[in-house]
A and B are shown apart, each in its own frame.
Chain A
Amino acid sequence: MTGGTRGILKSIYAYRFYYLLGLPMIIYFLLFHYVPMYGVVLAFKDYSFRLGILRSPWVGLKHFRLLFESYKFYQLLANTLLISTYRLVFGFPVPIILAIMTNDLLNNRYKKFFQTISYLPHFISWVILSGIIIEILSPSRGIINAVISALGGEPIYFMTIPKYFRGIVTVATIWQSCGWGSIVYLAAISSIDVEQIEAAYVDGATRLQIIFAITLPSISSVIVVILLLTVGRILDAGFEQVFNLYNPMVYRTGDIIDTYVYRVGIIDMRYSFSTAVGLFKNAIGFTLLVLANLLVKRIDSDKSLW
Protein backbone atom coordinates (compact mmCIF):
# COMPACT_ATOMS: atom_id res chain seq x y z
CA MET A 1 0.00 0.00 0.00
CA THR A 2 1.54 3.31 -1.04
CA GLY A 3 1.68 6.05 1.57
CA GLY A 4 -0.52 9.07 1.71
CA THR A 5 -4.27 9.49 1.38
CA ARG A 6 -4.09 9.64 -2.39
CA GLY A 7 -2.30 6.31 -2.41
CA ILE A 8 -4.93 4.69 -0.20
CA LEU A 9 -7.78 6.02 -2.26
CA LYS A 10 -6.10 4.72 -5.36
CA SER A 11 -5.78 1.32 -3.73
CA ILE A 12 -9.38 1.26 -2.72
CA TYR A 13 -10.42 2.14 -6.23
CA ALA A 14 -8.23 -0.60 -7.61
CA TYR A 15 -9.87 -3.12 -5.33
CA ARG A 16 -13.38 -1.84 -5.83
CA PHE A 17 -14.60 -5.09 -7.32
CA TYR A 18 -13.67 -6.96 -4.20
CA TYR A 19 -15.23 -4.41 -1.89
CA LEU A 20 -18.41 -4.79 -3.84
CA LEU A 21 -18.16 -8.54 -3.50
CA GLY A 22 -17.83 -8.36 0.24
CA LEU A 23 -20.36 -5.59 0.68
CA PRO A 24 -23.33 -7.77 1.70
CA MET A 25 -21.19 -9.37 4.37
CA ILE A 26 -20.01 -5.99 5.65
CA ILE A 27 -23.52 -4.63 5.73
CA TYR A 28 -24.63 -7.68 7.64
CA PHE A 29 -22.04 -7.25 10.37
CA LEU A 30 -22.60 -3.54 10.66
CA LEU A 31 -26.33 -3.90 10.86
CA PHE A 32 -26.85 -6.96 12.98
CA HIS A 33 -23.79 -6.82 15.17
CA TYR A 34 -22.53 -3.28 15.51
CA VAL A 35 -25.81 -1.45 15.63
CA PRO A 36 -27.04 -3.47 18.62
CA MET A 37 -23.66 -3.31 20.31
CA TYR A 38 -24.86 -0.61 22.72
CA GLY A 39 -26.50 -3.38 24.75
CA VAL A 40 -23.10 -4.12 26.20
CA VAL A 41 -23.58 -1.26 28.63
CA LEU A 42 -26.13 -3.37 30.44
CA ALA A 43 -23.26 -5.07 32.17
CA PHE A 44 -22.77 -1.80 34.00
CA LYS A 45 -26.38 -1.08 34.73
CA ASP A 46 -29.24 -2.54 36.66
CA TYR A 47 -31.61 -3.35 33.90
CA SER A 48 -35.20 -2.41 34.45
CA PHE A 49 -37.70 -3.49 31.86
CA ARG A 50 -39.80 -0.42 32.53
CA LEU A 51 -36.99 2.00 32.00
CA GLY A 52 -35.42 0.26 29.07
CA ILE A 53 -31.74 0.03 28.34
CA LEU A 54 -30.95 3.70 27.98
CA ARG A 55 -32.61 4.84 31.14
CA SER A 56 -31.77 2.01 33.49
CA PRO A 57 -29.53 3.20 36.31
CA TRP A 58 -25.76 2.91 36.12
CA VAL A 59 -24.19 0.71 38.75
CA GLY A 60 -20.63 0.69 37.57
CA LEU A 61 -18.74 -2.45 38.46
CA LYS A 62 -21.31 -3.78 40.89
CA HIS A 63 -22.02 -6.96 38.95
CA PHE A 64 -18.37 -7.66 38.38
CA ARG A 65 -17.62 -7.16 42.06
CA LEU A 66 -20.44 -9.54 42.86
CA LEU A 67 -18.82 -12.12 40.65
CA PHE A 68 -15.22 -11.67 41.75
CA GLU A 69 -15.90 -11.34 45.42
CA SER A 70 -17.86 -14.51 45.60
CA TYR A 71 -15.70 -16.73 47.72
CA LYS A 72 -15.96 -19.41 45.13
CA PHE A 73 -14.79 -17.29 42.25
CA TYR A 74 -11.27 -18.61 42.06
CA GLN A 75 -12.47 -22.16 42.29
CA LEU A 76 -14.98 -21.53 39.51
CA LEU A 77 -12.33 -19.90 37.40
CA ALA A 78 -9.94 -22.76 37.97
CA ASN A 79 -12.53 -25.38 37.11
CA THR A 80 -13.61 -23.50 34.04
CA LEU A 81 -10.08 -23.07 32.79
CA LEU A 82 -9.09 -26.63 33.56
CA ILE A 83 -12.06 -28.19 31.85
CA SER A 84 -11.61 -25.98 28.83
CA THR A 85 -7.93 -26.71 28.65
CA TYR A 86 -8.47 -30.45 28.89
CA ARG A 87 -10.98 -30.10 26.13
CA LEU A 88 -8.49 -28.20 24.06
CA VAL A 89 -5.50 -30.42 24.63
CA PHE A 90 -7.28 -33.73 24.36
CA GLY A 91 -10.30 -32.80 22.34
CA PHE A 92 -8.85 -30.59 19.67
CA PRO A 93 -6.72 -33.20 17.91
CA VAL A 94 -9.43 -35.86 17.91
CA PRO A 95 -11.56 -34.53 15.04
CA ILE A 96 -8.41 -34.06 13.00
CA ILE A 97 -7.23 -37.59 13.67
CA LEU A 98 -10.70 -38.87 12.96
CA ALA A 99 -10.79 -37.04 9.65
CA ILE A 100 -7.44 -38.44 8.58
CA MET A 101 -8.49 -41.88 9.68
CA THR A 102 -11.76 -41.68 7.81
CA ASN A 103 -10.07 -40.36 4.74
CA ASP A 104 -7.71 -43.30 4.69
CA LEU A 105 -10.39 -45.94 4.88
CA LEU A 106 -10.20 -47.96 1.77
CA ASN A 107 -13.74 -48.96 1.06
CA ASN A 108 -15.72 -45.99 -0.20
CA ARG A 109 -19.05 -47.17 1.04
CA TYR A 110 -17.76 -48.05 4.47
CA LYS A 111 -16.07 -44.69 4.55
CA LYS A 112 -19.32 -42.83 3.98
CA PHE A 113 -21.13 -45.06 6.42
CA PHE A 114 -18.57 -44.55 9.15
CA GLN A 115 -18.59 -40.84 8.58
CA THR A 116 -22.34 -40.62 8.96
CA ILE A 117 -22.22 -42.70 12.12
CA SER A 118 -19.51 -40.55 13.63
CA TYR A 119 -21.60 -37.41 13.82
CA LEU A 120 -24.70 -39.02 15.27
CA PRO A 121 -23.84 -38.26 18.90
CA HIS A 122 -23.86 -34.59 18.00
CA PHE A 123 -27.59 -34.75 17.50
CA ILE A 124 -28.51 -36.53 20.64
CA SER A 125 -29.58 -34.12 23.33
CA TRP A 126 -27.30 -33.79 26.30
CA VAL A 127 -29.99 -34.86 28.65
CA ILE A 128 -30.02 -38.26 27.02
CA LEU A 129 -26.27 -38.52 26.55
CA SER A 130 -25.62 -37.68 30.15
CA GLY A 131 -28.17 -40.27 31.17
CA ILE A 132 -26.25 -42.85 29.19
CA ILE A 133 -22.95 -41.83 30.71
CA ILE A 134 -24.34 -41.97 34.21
CA GLU A 135 -25.63 -45.43 33.49
CA ILE A 136 -22.33 -46.65 32.10
CA LEU A 137 -20.49 -45.38 35.15
CA SER A 138 -23.07 -46.58 37.64
CA PRO A 139 -21.62 -48.65 40.47
CA SER A 140 -24.43 -51.15 40.28
CA ARG A 141 -25.52 -51.31 36.68
CA GLY A 142 -22.64 -49.92 34.70
CA ILE A 143 -20.37 -51.73 32.34
CA ILE A 144 -17.19 -50.17 33.61
CA ASN A 145 -17.77 -51.32 37.15
CA ALA A 146 -18.80 -54.74 35.92
CA VAL A 147 -15.37 -55.07 34.36
CA ILE A 148 -13.69 -53.79 37.49
CA SER A 149 -15.56 -56.27 39.66
CA ALA A 150 -14.73 -59.10 37.30
CA LEU A 151 -11.09 -58.21 37.68
CA GLY A 152 -11.47 -58.41 41.44
CA GLY A 153 -11.78 -54.73 42.30
CA GLU A 154 -14.30 -52.68 44.22
CA PRO A 155 -16.97 -50.83 42.23
CA ILE A 156 -16.27 -47.13 42.05
CA TYR A 157 -18.99 -44.52 42.16
CA PHE A 158 -17.36 -42.40 39.52
CA MET A 159 -19.89 -39.63 39.27
CA THR A 160 -19.49 -38.60 42.89
CA ILE A 161 -15.72 -38.49 43.07
CA PRO A 162 -14.39 -35.00 42.38
CA LYS A 163 -11.13 -36.02 40.83
CA TYR A 164 -12.79 -37.96 38.05
CA PHE A 165 -15.34 -35.38 37.10
CA ARG A 166 -13.32 -33.20 34.78
CA GLY A 167 -12.07 -36.23 32.93
CA ILE A 168 -15.58 -37.57 32.53
CA VAL A 169 -16.85 -34.28 31.17
CA THR A 170 -13.95 -34.07 28.78
CA VAL A 171 -14.38 -37.57 27.40
CA ALA A 172 -18.12 -37.07 27.13
CA THR A 173 -17.72 -33.84 25.22
CA ILE A 174 -15.20 -35.36 22.85
CA TRP A 175 -17.49 -38.29 22.23
CA GLN A 176 -20.31 -36.02 21.31
CA SER A 177 -18.50 -33.55 19.14
CA CYS A 178 -15.57 -35.21 17.43
CA GLY A 179 -17.56 -36.68 14.57
CA TRP A 180 -19.30 -33.46 13.67
CA GLY A 181 -16.10 -31.54 14.13
CA SER A 182 -14.22 -33.78 11.75
CA ILE A 183 -16.39 -32.78 8.81
CA VAL A 184 -14.63 -29.51 8.18
CA TYR A 185 -11.24 -31.23 8.26
CA LEU A 186 -12.47 -33.85 5.83
CA ALA A 187 -13.46 -31.05 3.51
CA ALA A 188 -10.00 -29.56 3.82
CA ILE A 189 -8.34 -32.91 3.15
CA SER A 190 -10.51 -33.57 0.14
CA SER A 191 -9.10 -30.54 -1.58
CA ILE A 192 -5.52 -31.74 -1.38
CA ASP A 193 -4.10 -32.39 -4.77
CA VAL A 194 -4.41 -36.09 -5.42
CA GLU A 195 -1.46 -36.11 -7.79
CA GLN A 196 0.83 -34.87 -5.08
CA ILE A 197 -0.08 -37.87 -2.98
CA GLU A 198 0.28 -40.22 -5.89
CA ALA A 199 3.75 -38.89 -6.55
CA ALA A 200 4.68 -39.44 -2.93
CA TYR A 201 3.58 -43.05 -3.11
CA VAL A 202 5.62 -43.59 -6.21
CA ASP A 203 8.60 -42.26 -4.31
CA GLY A 204 8.00 -44.93 -1.67
CA ALA A 205 6.41 -42.95 1.14
CA THR A 206 4.47 -44.87 3.76
CA ARG A 207 0.98 -43.99 4.86
CA LEU A 208 2.21 -42.28 7.99
CA GLN A 209 4.83 -40.31 6.15
CA ILE A 210 2.24 -38.97 3.78
CA ILE A 211 0.04 -37.91 6.65
CA PHE A 212 2.78 -35.91 8.27
CA ALA A 213 4.44 -34.58 5.17
CA ILE A 214 1.49 -33.77 2.95
CA THR A 215 -1.89 -34.06 4.62
CA LEU A 216 -1.27 -32.16 7.80
CA PRO A 217 0.65 -29.25 6.26
CA SER A 218 -2.01 -28.87 3.59
CA ILE A 219 -4.80 -28.45 6.07
CA SER A 220 -2.75 -26.46 8.54
CA SER A 221 -4.38 -23.13 7.77
CA VAL A 222 -7.79 -24.56 8.58
CA ILE A 223 -6.42 -26.18 11.72
CA VAL A 224 -4.80 -22.99 12.92
CA VAL A 225 -7.87 -20.84 12.45
CA ILE A 226 -10.12 -23.24 14.29
CA LEU A 227 -7.54 -23.54 17.04
CA LEU A 228 -7.36 -19.79 17.42
CA LEU A 229 -11.11 -19.41 17.55
CA THR A 230 -11.34 -22.23 20.09
CA VAL A 231 -8.74 -20.60 22.29
CA GLY A 232 -10.92 -17.52 22.28
CA ARG A 233 -13.71 -19.47 23.87
CA ILE A 234 -11.62 -20.75 26.72
CA LEU A 235 -13.92 -19.52 29.42
CA ASP A 236 -16.84 -21.30 27.89
CA ALA A 237 -16.40 -24.71 29.42
CA GLY A 238 -19.72 -26.04 28.24
CA PHE A 239 -22.70 -25.30 30.44
CA GLU A 240 -24.92 -28.06 29.13
CA GLN A 241 -22.38 -30.81 29.54
CA VAL A 242 -21.40 -29.88 33.07
CA PHE A 243 -24.93 -29.07 34.15
CA ASN A 244 -26.32 -32.43 33.12
CA LEU A 245 -23.50 -34.42 34.60
CA TYR A 246 -22.66 -32.73 37.86
CA ASN A 247 -24.06 -33.06 41.32
CA PRO A 248 -23.26 -31.29 44.61
CA MET A 249 -20.59 -33.82 45.50
CA VAL A 250 -18.40 -32.74 42.63
CA TYR A 251 -18.95 -29.01 42.80
CA ARG A 252 -15.43 -28.58 44.05
CA THR A 253 -13.93 -29.66 40.75
CA GLY A 254 -16.87 -29.39 38.44
CA ASP A 255 -18.69 -26.19 39.15
CA ILE A 256 -17.90 -23.74 36.40
CA ILE A 257 -18.72 -20.05 36.08
CA ASP A 258 -21.81 -20.68 34.00
CA THR A 259 -23.33 -23.30 36.25
CA TYR A 260 -22.73 -21.18 39.29
CA VAL A 261 -24.37 -18.18 37.69
CA TYR A 262 -27.29 -20.35 36.73
CA ARG A 263 -27.72 -21.69 40.24
CA VAL A 264 -27.29 -18.44 42.00
CA GLY A 265 -29.68 -16.71 39.61
CA ILE A 266 -30.05 -13.36 41.23
CA ILE A 267 -33.63 -12.67 40.42
CA ASP A 268 -33.76 -8.91 40.48
CA MET A 269 -30.85 -8.17 38.30
CA ARG A 270 -30.52 -11.46 36.53
CA TYR A 271 -30.25 -10.06 33.06
CA SER A 272 -27.57 -7.51 33.87
CA PHE A 273 -25.66 -9.96 35.98
CA SER A 274 -25.47 -12.59 33.29
CA THR A 275 -24.60 -9.90 30.76
CA ALA A 276 -21.74 -8.85 33.00
CA VAL A 277 -20.52 -12.40 33.40
CA GLY A 278 -20.76 -12.90 29.68
CA LEU A 279 -18.79 -9.75 29.09
CA PHE A 280 -16.10 -10.88 31.49
CA LYS A 281 -15.75 -14.25 29.80
CA ASN A 282 -15.65 -12.75 26.36
CA ALA A 283 -13.19 -10.05 27.28
CA ILE A 284 -10.73 -12.58 28.65
CA GLY A 285 -11.32 -14.88 25.72
CA PHE A 286 -10.78 -12.15 23.21
CA THR A 287 -7.59 -11.02 24.89
CA LEU A 288 -6.27 -14.56 24.74
CA LEU A 289 -7.22 -14.72 21.10
CA VAL A 290 -5.33 -11.55 20.32
CA LEU A 291 -2.27 -12.87 22.11
CA ALA A 292 -2.48 -16.24 20.41
CA ASN A 293 -2.90 -14.54 17.08
CA LEU A 294 0.21 -12.48 17.65
CA LEU A 295 2.07 -15.67 18.37
CA VAL A 296 0.84 -17.29 15.19
CA LYS A 297 1.71 -14.20 13.22
CA ARG A 298 5.28 -14.50 14.38
CA ILE A 299 5.50 -18.09 13.24
CA ASP A 300 3.69 -17.89 9.93
CA SER A 301 1.85 -14.71 9.17
CA ASP A 302 -0.20 -16.33 6.46
CA LYS A 303 -2.05 -18.36 8.99
CA SER A 304 -2.91 -15.66 11.48
CA LEU A 305 -6.37 -14.18 11.68
CA TRP A 306 -5.26 -10.67 10.90
Chain B
Amino acid sequence: MRLNRKYRSWSDRLFDIFNFSLSLFLAIVFIYPFWQTLVTSVSLPAYANGLNYRLFPRGGATLAAYGEVLKNRTVFIAYGNTLYRAAFGTVITVIITYCGAYMLTKKRLPFRNTITFLIVFTMFFNGGLIPRYVLVSSLGLIGSRWALILPVATSAWNVIIARNFIAAIPTSMEESAIIDGAKPFQVVFQIIMPLSLPILAVLALWTAVNHWNAWFDALIYVRSTSKIVLQLYLRRILIDIDNQEVGFYDNVMLLTKSYTTPETVKAATIVVSTLPIICFYPFLQRYFVKGVMVGALKG
Protein backbone atom coordinates (compact mmCIF):
# COMPACT_ATOMS: atom_id res chain seq x y z
CA MET B 1 0.00 0.00 0.00
CA ARG B 2 2.74 2.44 -0.91
CA LEU B 3 0.29 4.31 -3.08
CA ASN B 4 -0.84 6.15 0.03
CA ARG B 5 1.73 8.80 -0.43
CA LYS B 6 0.05 10.20 -3.44
CA TYR B 7 -3.18 10.93 -1.72
CA ARG B 8 -2.30 12.72 1.44
CA SER B 9 -4.39 15.49 2.78
CA TRP B 10 -3.58 17.18 6.05
CA SER B 11 -5.80 14.82 8.02
CA ASP B 12 -4.00 11.88 6.52
CA ARG B 13 -0.67 13.35 7.45
CA LEU B 14 -1.85 13.85 10.98
CA PHE B 15 -3.02 10.28 11.09
CA ASP B 16 0.34 9.01 9.92
CA ILE B 17 2.25 11.08 12.44
CA PHE B 18 -0.01 10.01 15.27
CA ASN B 19 0.17 6.41 14.18
CA PHE B 20 3.90 6.41 14.01
CA SER B 21 4.42 8.14 17.37
CA LEU B 22 2.00 5.86 19.10
CA SER B 23 3.70 2.85 17.62
CA LEU B 24 7.07 4.05 18.88
CA PHE B 25 5.73 4.41 22.39
CA LEU B 26 4.10 1.01 22.19
CA ALA B 27 7.23 -0.56 20.79
CA ILE B 28 9.09 0.48 23.92
CA VAL B 29 6.33 -0.84 26.14
CA PHE B 30 6.26 -4.14 24.26
CA ILE B 31 9.94 -4.73 24.05
CA TYR B 32 10.68 -3.87 27.66
CA PRO B 33 9.87 -7.24 29.32
CA PHE B 34 11.88 -9.09 26.73
CA TRP B 35 14.79 -6.73 27.00
CA GLN B 36 14.67 -7.06 30.77
CA THR B 37 14.72 -10.84 30.40
CA LEU B 38 17.66 -10.66 28.05
CA VAL B 39 19.56 -8.46 30.45
CA THR B 40 18.78 -10.74 33.36
CA SER B 41 20.00 -13.74 31.43
CA VAL B 42 23.48 -12.31 31.13
CA SER B 43 23.64 -10.67 34.52
CA LEU B 44 25.96 -11.60 37.30
CA PRO B 45 24.33 -13.33 40.27
CA ALA B 46 24.89 -10.40 42.56
CA TYR B 47 22.73 -8.20 40.41
CA ALA B 48 20.17 -10.66 39.20
CA ASN B 49 17.97 -11.42 42.13
CA GLY B 50 14.78 -10.66 40.33
CA LEU B 51 14.10 -7.21 41.61
CA ASN B 52 16.62 -5.54 39.47
CA TYR B 53 15.39 -3.59 36.54
CA ARG B 54 18.12 -2.03 34.55
CA LEU B 55 18.69 -1.25 30.97
CA PHE B 56 22.08 -2.86 30.90
CA PRO B 57 23.66 -5.55 33.00
CA ARG B 58 25.56 -4.02 35.82
CA GLY B 59 29.09 -4.99 36.59
CA GLY B 60 29.58 -6.98 33.46
CA ALA B 61 27.92 -9.81 31.69
CA THR B 62 28.29 -13.55 31.69
CA LEU B 63 27.03 -16.32 29.51
CA ALA B 64 27.07 -18.72 32.43
CA ALA B 65 23.31 -19.06 32.44
CA TYR B 66 23.34 -20.16 28.82
CA GLY B 67 26.13 -22.55 29.63
CA GLU B 68 23.91 -24.06 32.26
CA VAL B 69 21.08 -24.45 29.79
CA LEU B 70 23.13 -25.82 26.93
CA LYS B 71 25.70 -27.84 28.77
CA ASN B 72 23.97 -31.14 28.39
CA ARG B 73 23.84 -33.09 25.13
CA THR B 74 20.19 -33.71 25.91
CA VAL B 75 19.30 -30.19 24.90
CA PHE B 76 20.05 -31.00 21.30
CA ILE B 77 17.94 -34.13 21.44
CA ALA B 78 15.19 -32.01 22.90
CA TYR B 79 15.53 -29.46 20.11
CA GLY B 80 15.37 -32.26 17.58
CA ASN B 81 12.21 -33.74 19.00
CA THR B 82 10.55 -30.40 19.25
CA LEU B 83 11.43 -29.61 15.66
CA TYR B 84 10.06 -32.99 14.65
CA ARG B 85 6.70 -32.45 16.26
CA ALA B 86 6.54 -28.82 15.15
CA ALA B 87 7.29 -29.70 11.54
CA PHE B 88 4.99 -32.68 11.16
CA GLY B 89 2.38 -31.20 13.42
CA THR B 90 2.22 -27.96 11.47
CA VAL B 91 1.92 -29.63 8.09
CA ILE B 92 -0.76 -32.00 9.30
CA THR B 93 -2.70 -29.32 11.10
CA VAL B 94 -2.67 -26.88 8.22
CA ILE B 95 -3.83 -29.47 5.72
CA ILE B 96 -6.54 -31.01 7.87
CA THR B 97 -7.77 -27.63 9.05
CA TYR B 98 -7.84 -26.12 5.60
CA CYS B 99 -9.71 -29.04 4.08
CA GLY B 100 -12.17 -29.23 6.95
CA ALA B 101 -12.72 -25.49 6.99
CA TYR B 102 -13.29 -25.47 3.27
CA MET B 103 -15.91 -28.16 3.58
CA LEU B 104 -17.71 -26.05 6.15
CA THR B 105 -17.83 -23.03 3.91
CA LYS B 106 -20.22 -24.76 1.56
CA LYS B 107 -23.48 -23.22 2.64
CA ARG B 108 -25.75 -25.88 1.20
CA LEU B 109 -23.79 -28.79 2.58
CA PRO B 110 -26.20 -31.14 4.34
CA PHE B 111 -25.82 -31.06 8.12
CA ARG B 112 -23.34 -28.24 7.89
CA ASN B 113 -24.70 -26.47 10.94
CA THR B 114 -24.90 -29.65 12.94
CA ILE B 115 -21.30 -30.51 12.22
CA THR B 116 -20.18 -27.00 13.10
CA PHE B 117 -22.15 -27.13 16.32
CA LEU B 118 -20.61 -30.45 17.28
CA ILE B 119 -17.16 -29.10 16.60
CA VAL B 120 -17.65 -25.99 18.70
CA PHE B 121 -19.15 -28.21 21.39
CA THR B 122 -15.80 -29.93 21.80
CA MET B 123 -14.25 -26.64 22.74
CA PHE B 124 -16.30 -26.61 25.89
CA PHE B 125 -16.95 -30.15 26.86
CA ASN B 126 -14.28 -32.71 26.99
CA GLY B 127 -13.65 -35.84 28.95
CA GLY B 128 -10.52 -34.63 30.62
CA LEU B 129 -7.10 -36.02 31.13
CA ILE B 130 -7.77 -39.59 32.08
CA PRO B 131 -9.98 -40.74 29.21
CA ARG B 132 -7.60 -39.03 26.83
CA TYR B 133 -4.72 -40.94 28.28
CA VAL B 134 -6.63 -44.18 28.04
CA LEU B 135 -7.37 -43.45 24.40
CA VAL B 136 -3.82 -42.56 23.47
CA SER B 137 -2.67 -45.63 25.25
CA SER B 138 -5.09 -47.94 23.49
CA LEU B 139 -4.00 -46.48 20.18
CA GLY B 140 -0.53 -47.64 21.02
CA LEU B 141 0.92 -44.16 20.89
CA ILE B 142 2.42 -44.02 24.34
CA GLY B 143 6.13 -43.47 23.98
CA SER B 144 5.86 -42.30 20.42
CA ARG B 145 6.25 -38.72 19.30
CA TRP B 146 3.03 -39.08 17.38
CA ALA B 147 1.22 -38.96 20.71
CA LEU B 148 2.27 -35.34 20.71
CA ILE B 149 1.09 -34.72 17.18
CA LEU B 150 -2.11 -36.63 16.45
CA PRO B 151 -4.20 -35.68 19.50
CA VAL B 152 -3.75 -32.03 18.57
CA ALA B 153 -4.06 -32.46 14.83
CA THR B 154 -6.49 -29.59 14.74
CA SER B 155 -8.87 -27.70 16.97
CA ALA B 156 -12.28 -26.13 16.89
CA TRP B 157 -10.71 -22.73 17.20
CA ASN B 158 -8.54 -23.26 14.14
CA VAL B 159 -11.27 -24.73 12.03
CA ILE B 160 -13.85 -22.07 12.75
CA ILE B 161 -11.52 -19.14 12.22
CA ALA B 162 -10.18 -20.64 9.02
CA ARG B 163 -13.71 -21.31 7.86
CA ASN B 164 -14.72 -17.71 8.35
CA PHE B 165 -11.65 -16.48 6.59
CA ILE B 166 -12.21 -18.68 3.57
CA ALA B 167 -15.88 -17.78 3.52
CA ALA B 168 -14.93 -14.14 3.16
CA ILE B 169 -13.23 -14.79 -0.16
CA PRO B 170 -15.56 -13.54 -2.87
CA THR B 171 -17.53 -16.34 -4.45
CA SER B 172 -16.83 -14.82 -7.83
CA MET B 173 -13.41 -16.40 -7.69
CA GLU B 174 -14.81 -19.89 -7.50
CA GLU B 175 -17.60 -19.20 -9.91
CA SER B 176 -15.39 -17.91 -12.66
CA ALA B 177 -13.05 -20.83 -12.17
CA ILE B 178 -15.90 -23.29 -12.49
CA ILE B 179 -17.15 -21.56 -15.60
CA ASP B 180 -13.69 -21.99 -16.98
CA GLY B 181 -14.06 -25.70 -16.37
CA ALA B 182 -12.18 -26.23 -13.14
CA LYS B 183 -12.97 -29.34 -11.18
CA PRO B 184 -13.68 -29.17 -7.42
CA PHE B 185 -10.23 -30.51 -6.59
CA GLN B 186 -8.60 -27.79 -8.63
CA VAL B 187 -10.79 -25.11 -7.11
CA VAL B 188 -9.87 -26.14 -3.60
CA PHE B 189 -6.15 -26.42 -4.10
CA GLN B 190 -5.31 -24.22 -7.03
CA ILE B 191 -7.72 -21.36 -6.72
CA ILE B 192 -8.77 -20.92 -3.13
CA MET B 193 -5.70 -22.20 -1.35
CA PRO B 194 -3.39 -19.49 -2.70
CA LEU B 195 -5.96 -16.90 -1.67
CA SER B 196 -6.04 -18.42 1.81
CA LEU B 197 -2.34 -18.14 2.37
CA PRO B 198 -2.64 -15.48 5.07
CA ILE B 199 -4.78 -17.61 7.32
CA LEU B 200 -2.76 -20.71 6.53
CA ALA B 201 0.35 -18.82 7.55
CA VAL B 202 -1.33 -17.83 10.80
CA LEU B 203 -2.40 -21.40 11.44
CA ALA B 204 1.12 -22.58 10.77
CA LEU B 205 2.45 -20.02 13.19
CA TRP B 206 -0.01 -20.86 15.94
CA THR B 207 0.54 -24.57 15.55
CA ALA B 208 4.31 -24.36 15.40
CA VAL B 209 4.44 -22.16 18.47
CA ASN B 210 2.10 -24.42 20.40
CA HIS B 211 4.23 -27.41 19.63
CA TRP B 212 7.31 -25.46 20.48
CA ASN B 213 5.96 -24.48 23.91
CA ALA B 214 4.24 -27.74 24.78
CA TRP B 215 5.53 -29.86 27.60
CA PHE B 216 2.65 -31.34 29.53
CA ASP B 217 1.67 -33.84 26.86
CA ALA B 218 5.27 -34.95 26.61
CA LEU B 219 5.30 -35.38 30.35
CA ILE B 220 2.42 -37.80 30.39
CA TYR B 221 2.69 -39.57 27.06
CA VAL B 222 6.39 -39.80 26.36
CA ARG B 223 8.67 -40.43 29.24
CA SER B 224 11.94 -41.50 27.75
CA THR B 225 14.85 -39.11 27.52
CA SER B 226 15.37 -39.85 23.88
CA LYS B 227 12.00 -38.35 23.09
CA ILE B 228 12.08 -35.38 25.43
CA VAL B 229 10.94 -32.05 24.10
CA LEU B 230 12.53 -28.69 24.60
CA GLN B 231 10.20 -27.13 27.17
CA LEU B 232 10.22 -30.23 29.28
CA TYR B 233 13.98 -30.26 29.27
CA LEU B 234 14.12 -26.59 30.18
CA ARG B 235 11.73 -27.11 33.05
CA ARG B 236 13.90 -29.87 34.40
CA ILE B 237 16.84 -27.55 34.38
CA LEU B 238 14.93 -24.96 36.34
CA ILE B 239 13.85 -27.50 38.91
CA ASP B 240 17.41 -28.69 39.25
CA ILE B 241 18.65 -25.18 39.76
CA ASP B 242 16.02 -24.52 42.36
CA ASN B 243 16.93 -27.69 44.17
CA GLN B 244 20.55 -26.72 44.24
CA GLU B 245 19.60 -23.53 45.99
CA VAL B 246 18.06 -25.31 48.94
CA GLY B 247 20.20 -24.61 51.96
CA PHE B 248 22.31 -21.95 50.33
CA TYR B 249 22.49 -18.41 51.58
CA ASP B 250 23.14 -15.52 49.29
CA ASN B 251 26.64 -14.99 50.70
CA VAL B 252 27.58 -18.52 49.92
CA MET B 253 26.27 -18.02 46.42
CA LEU B 254 28.58 -15.13 45.87
CA LEU B 255 31.54 -16.90 47.34
CA THR B 256 31.17 -19.98 45.22
CA LYS B 257 32.22 -20.06 41.63
CA SER B 258 28.66 -20.47 40.49
CA TYR B 259 27.74 -17.59 38.25
CA THR B 260 24.12 -18.40 37.90
CA THR B 261 21.00 -17.98 39.95
CA PRO B 262 17.56 -19.40 39.31
CA GLU B 263 16.63 -16.00 37.91
CA THR B 264 19.34 -15.85 35.33
CA VAL B 265 18.84 -19.43 34.25
CA LYS B 266 15.10 -18.87 33.98
CA ALA B 267 15.73 -15.84 31.84
CA ALA B 268 18.18 -17.75 29.69
CA THR B 269 15.68 -20.52 29.10
CA ILE B 270 13.13 -18.01 27.91
CA VAL B 271 15.59 -16.47 25.50
CA VAL B 272 16.64 -19.88 24.24
CA SER B 273 13.04 -20.88 23.60
CA THR B 274 11.94 -17.61 22.12
CA LEU B 275 14.75 -16.76 19.74
CA PRO B 276 13.99 -19.52 17.24
CA ILE B 277 10.40 -18.35 17.02
CA ILE B 278 11.49 -14.79 16.44
CA CYS B 279 13.74 -16.06 13.66
CA PHE B 280 11.04 -18.26 12.16
CA TYR B 281 8.40 -15.58 12.19
CA PRO B 282 9.66 -13.32 9.39
CA PHE B 283 9.34 -16.18 6.95
CA LEU B 284 5.64 -16.38 7.62
CA GLN B 285 5.16 -12.68 8.01
CA ARG B 286 5.45 -11.97 4.33
CA TYR B 287 2.26 -13.94 3.76
CA PHE B 288 0.20 -11.49 5.64
CA VAL B 289 1.93 -8.20 5.31
CA LYS B 290 1.37 -7.81 1.61
CA GLY B 291 -1.90 -7.78 -0.22
CA VAL B 292 -2.75 -11.18 -1.54
CA MET B 293 -5.85 -10.46 -3.50
CA VAL B 294 -4.94 -8.03 -6.18
CA GLY B 295 -7.64 -7.68 -8.74
CA ALA B 296 -9.94 -10.13 -7.09
CA LEU B 297 -13.01 -8.13 -7.94
CA LYS B 298 -12.25 -8.29 -11.59
CA GLY B 299 -12.05 -12.07 -11.22
Contact = CB atoms under 8 A, between A and B. Distances in A.
Contact of B36 (A21, A132, A141, A184): A132
A19 B26 contact: no
B99 A25 contact: yes
Interface in A95-148: 98, 101-106, 108, 111-121, 123-125, 127-129, 131-132, 135, 141
A286 B266 contact: no
B288 interface: yes
Interface string A74-102: 00000000000000000000000010011
A117 B25 CA distance: 12
Interface residues of A, number: 100
Given A21-B102, A112-B289, A184-B202, A218 B168 contact: yes
Given A195-B297, A201-B7, A28 B289 contact: no
A39 interface: yes
Contacts of B37: 124, 128
B119 interface: yes
Contact of A37 (B115, B131, B294): B131
Interface string B146-175: 000011011011011100110111000000
Contacts, number: 291
Contacts of B1: 103-104, 194, 197
Interface residues of B, number: 109
Contacts of B168: 188, 191, 218-219, 221-222
Interface string B1-40: 1111111010110011001101100110111111011000
A39 B128 contact: yes
Q: Interface SS of chain B: helix, strand, loop or mixed?
A: helix
B34 A42 contact: no
A8 B110 contact: yes
A1 B32 contact: no
Given A22-B103, A25-B96, A282-B124, A128 B266 contact: yes
Given A19-B109, A29-B122, A33-B122, 4 more contacts: A25-B100, A105-B19, A116-B278, A191-B292
Interface of A: 1, 8, 11-12, 15, 17-19, 21-22, 24-26, 28-29, 31-40, 42, 53, 98, 101-106, 108, 111-121, 123-125, 127-129, 131-132, 135, 141, 175, 179, 183-184, 186-188, 190-198, 201-202, 204, 206-208, 218-219, 221-222, 224-226, 229, 232, 271, 275, 278-279, 282-283, 285-286, 289, 302-303, 305-306
